[in-house]
Amino acid sequence: MKLVKAVTGFSLLALTLAGCNDSPSPYLDNTHPSGTTSAMSVQQQFDQLMQRPSLEEITSRYEEMRQKITDSLKGSFGISTWGKREGQPETDGCGSDYSVDSWDGRTYYAQALYSKTPITYPQWPQAKSLVSEIAGSYGFSTVTLVIDKPDNMGLELNDPYGGKLTFGSAVNTILSFRTGCHLTDEAKKRGTPRPTS
């Protein structure tokens, strides 16, 4: 299926170029020599996450961002029909970045959107600029990957919390995002780490 090939090809290239990196995460508290949270207690990590928007707040903001991007792509390039990748949006724990309870600290993975209307190579600079400008206003200002090839165009942007936005076009146009680690509304309301049993 062409969609699968296009999405998979972009994803594999993105993983090849950006996934094999042993350097410390730039989204963690860098006051520790290691640049990671491993030297922090669970309470310190929780306190750091308390300074971020909740998972529900950040997800709502990023859904709003995605809608603005798709509206702008429709107006500028005629991309009016978007499908969603099969499966439901997912949340997961924060992995190795934070050792807070996985029910308190979560990462949200939105369903990827795709359109059968591709961006042409001559249109790519304008499309890339449009997405970067909108995403930048929501904090996605760090460029982590750019692919500028006539048959494979891609852009990945990160926010200060470790969230990632992916935009690209080949046979199809794709748009997806995930958040970094954020406490749930419930955890922020509680204000302390979940008691261990």
**pLDDT tens by residue, 91-102:** 899 988 898 998
Question: CATH for 2-15+54-190?
Answer: 3.30.2030.20
pLDDT, average across residues 7-21:
40
Give the tens place of pLDDT for each residue, 163-179.
999 999 999 999 999 99
Give the tens place of pLDDT for each residue, 113-141.
999 999 999 999 999 999 999 999 999 99
- Looking at residue 71, the DSSP 8-state letter turns out to be H
Q: Does position 30 have pLDDT exceeding 60, yes or no?
A: no
End-to-end CA distance of the chain: 48
Please give the backbone phi and psi of residue 43, each rounded to the nearest 5 degrees, phi first.
Answer: -60, -45
Distances (CA, A) of 4 to 113, 124, 172: 12, 21, 9
Q: Does position 40 have pLDDT exceeding 80, yes or no?
A: yes
CA 117 distance to own-chain centroid: 22
Give the start-to-end residue ranges of the domains of the chain.
2-15+54-190
Give the tokens for residue 55: 């998972």
